[in-house]
Amino acid sequence: MAGCKHAVGVGNGLDALAFALEAAGVRPGDEVVVPAHTFIATWTAVRMVGAVPVAAEPACGGYNIDAATFAQALTRRTRAVVAVHLYGDPVAMEPLSALAAEHGVIVIEDAARHTVRDATAGRPAASGRPLRSASIRARTWARSATAAR
């Protein structure tokens, strides 16, 4: 995993997200902001650790959440946000991460559907930030990982 100090291989992308949430200290009853538009595993992982998924809408003109739609879902109970990079279009992480840091919210990136380079920063999507999950799948094999900086 480029730019990471540590990487952990797990069975699939769902487990990667659940482990990431657990490692981030998300506990039963905490709220986790997740995109309204994503694969079901993003939501299931939150329920696997007993937390409550709270939907954030896609940003206007795109498929991903952004800082503004994250802000609408943010409450005092929000412990983490899962930013999902969809369809080769990376989430604008800097403003979202800044807002999360302001509120003490942990950012987890779900890069299961994102393998192209982050055009805005010239680095692989999700690299250099605290926690990401990636799932690289093919017909006969599966490989997943969580990584912590």
For the CA atoms of 72, 49, 10, 139, the dihedral, rounded to the nearest 10 degrees, stands at -70
Cβ proximity to ligand PLP: between 144 and 146 the closer is 144
How far CA 4 is from CA of 8, 129, 138, in Å, comes to 11, 9, 24
Cβ proximity to ligand PLP: between 54 and 82 the closer is 82
How many CB atoms sit inside 10 A of residue 10's CB?
A: 19
Which one of 20-28, 92-100, 108-116, 118-126 is the stretch in contact with ligand PLP (CB under 6 A)? 108-116
C-alpha to C-alpha distance for 47 and 139, rounded to whole angstroms: 27
* Residue among 135, 145, 146, 147 that touches ligand PLP (CB under 6 A): 135
DSSP label of 27? -
47 lies in the site for ligand PLP, by CB under 6 A? no
- Encoding tokens for residue 121? 């920063």
* Residue among 26, 110, 126, 131 that touches ligand PLP (CB under 6 A): 110
* Residue among 26, 33, 38, 100 that touches ligand PLP (CB under 6 A): 38
DSSP label of 18? H
Binding-site string for ligand PLP from residue 54 to residue 93, where x marks contact by CB under 6 A and - marks none: ------------------------------x---------
CB of 102 to ligand PLP, least distance (A): 26
12 lies in the site for ligand PLP, by CB under 6 A? yes
C-alpha to C-alpha distance for 145 and 147, rounded to whole angstroms: 6
Cβ proximity to ligand PLP: between 16 and 105 the closer is 16
117 lies in the site for ligand PLP, by CB under 6 A? no
- Encoding tokens for residue 4? 């990471």
How many CB atoms sit inside 10 A of residue 113's CB?
A: 17
